[in-house]
Amino acid sequence: MARNRVVIVGGGGVGDAAAFALRKRGFDGEILVLSADSDRPYDRPYLSKEFLRGEVELAKVFLHDEAAFTKESVELRLGVRVTGGSVADRKLTLADGGEVEFDTLVLGLGGTPRRLPDVPRAGNVMTLRSLRDSTAIREALAASSRLMLLGAGFIGAEVAASARTMGKEVLMVEAAPAPLIRALGKDVGDIYTGIHRRHRVDVRTGTTVRRWHSEHDRIVGATLSDGSREEVDLVLMAVGIEPNLELPEALGLQVEGGGVRVDEGLLAAAGVYVGGDIAMHAHPVLGRSIRVEHWEVAKGHGRGIAAAIAGGHAPYTKLPYFWSDQYDVNLEYRGQASGEDRAVWRGDRDALRFSVFYLRHGVVEAVLSMNDTKTNELGGKLIESRQKVEERALTNLTADLSELLPAASS
C-alpha cells in the first residue's frame, strides 16, 4: 500500500472512528487529526445522560486514552482551527497562519448549537455540544432547583430526563404542537409528551417565551405565550445545530441543502471525504440524498471513509441509525423519513412497547421503536429490501415480519 498522509479535520465521531479504523485496516501512512476542541475525542451520548448525572466520571467519557494515539501513530492536535486552504494544492490554512499539507482529506466538522436571537446571553443560559458544556451544565444543575429547556428534541428530552432523575424541577417549552413532530409525527410526539409528564416534567407545547426576566447577569424567570410567568434558575437552549460549513465553502466544495454534497461513498472531491452532520449523502439504499445529525451515523461514516481510503472507493450502504434512552424508555430509529410519511403502528402504545413504520408509496423508509429492538432490526431489513409491503401485514401481531423479507435477507 502506498504511503500517504491523511489529514482529518474534526475530533468527533467521524474523525476518531476514521483514524482508528484506518489502522485496523492496515493503513500505514501518516494520520493527523486537527481538532478545534480542547479535549481529546469523547463519547458524545454520555454528555446528556450518565456524565451529566454524575454516574460516570471523566475517564470513561473519552473514546481512547492518550496512550492509544501514540500506540496507533495517530497524531492529535487539539485547539486547532482550520480556516481555509486549497484542494488543488493539497494544503490547509490554520487560524494561526500555519499550513498543513495532505494527500487525503477527511472533514467531520459537526455543528454549532443554534441560539435563539431573543434569548439573553446571561450567565445561566447554556447550550450543550461539548464535554466542557456538559461539565458546566452538570455543575450548574447541582446548584439549581428548576431547569428551563427551550426545545423538546432528543437532546432536550434526554437532559430533561437526566435532570428529573437528579431530582430537579424541569420546565420544557416547545413551540411546535408536539415534540419531534417534523421527524416522527404528532402521534409519536404526543406519546413522548406523556412520558415526560408522567415523570413530572412541566411540558408546554405550542408555547414560546414572550419576555425574559433578568437580575444582574442571570435569568430568573420568563413570561410565556400562554400568559404564565415561570421562575427558573437555569436555562438550556436545545433547538438544534447549525452545520459547520465555513471550511467546506472556503475549500470550494459543493454545499447545498445545509450540507456538503457527497457521492454514495462519501466523497466530495478527489481525495476529499466528508461525513457526519455536514454530509449530504447520496444514500445508495434509500436512493436519495440525506443529511443526518446523529452520533451513530457520524461514527459509521468515519468507519466507511476509512474503508474507502484503505481498500478503495465504494458505496457506503449502512442505514442511518440512532438511539435515545430516557427514564426506562429505549428508542431506536433506522432509516430516514419524515412525520409526513404514512405511519403504520405495530404493538402496544399504552405499554410503550411498539414500532412505527414510515411508508412512502408502500415502501418502508424508516422504523421507530420503543422498547422493541427485534422489530426495529427487522424493520431495517425491510427498508433495505426496497419492496412494497402490505400495511395489514405490519400491524398484525401474529404475523412474522421476517416472512416479508426476500429469502436472502431473512
Q: For 255-297, write each residue's pLDDT tens digit.
A: 998 999 999 999 999 999 999 999 999 999 999 999 999 999 9
Residue ranges, CATH 3.30.390.30, the chain? 328-404
Model pLDDT for residues 240-257, shown as the tens digit of each residue: 999 999 999 999 999 998
Is 329 a residue whose pLDDT tops 70?
yes
Question: Are the beta carbons of 91 and 99 closer than 8 angstroms?
Answer: yes
Our CA dihedral for 393, 398, 402, 406, rounded to 10 degrees, sits at -40
What fold does the segment set 115-237 form as a domain?
Answer: FAD/NAD(P)-binding domain (3.50.50)
Query: What is the average pLDDT value for the chain, to the nearest integer?
Result: 96
Model pLDDT for residues 169-191, shown as the tens digit of each residue: 999 999 999 998 988 999 999 99
Model pLDDT for residues 369-410, shown as the tens digit of each residue: 999 999 999 999 999 999 999 999 999 999 899 999 987 555
pLDDT of residue 409: 53
Place of cell 468515519: 302
Domain 328-404, CATH class in plain words: alpha beta
Model pLDDT for residues 106-148, shown as the tens digit of each residue: 999 999 999 999 999 999 999 999 999 999 999 999 999 999 9
Is 1 a residue whose pLDDT tops 70?
no
pLDDT of residue 183: 87
Q: 229 Cβ partners below 8 Å, 6+ apart?
A: 213, 221, 222, 223
Q: 148 Cβ partners below 8 Å, 6+ apart?
A: 170, 171, 172, 173, 219, 222, 230, 232, 234, 235, 236
Residue ranges, CATH 3.50.50.60, the chain? 5-112+241-311, 115-237
pLDDT of residue 340: 87
Beta carbons within 10 angstroms of residue 349's beta carbon: 15
Is 326 a residue whose pLDDT tops 50?
yes
pLDDT of residue 3: 62
Residue 388 grid coordinates: 412494497
Domain 5-112+241-311, CATH class in plain words: alpha beta
Model pLDDT for residues 202-212, shown as the tens digit of each residue: 999 999 999 99
Model pLDDT for residues 15-36, shown as the tens digit of each residue: 999 999 999 999 999 999 999 9
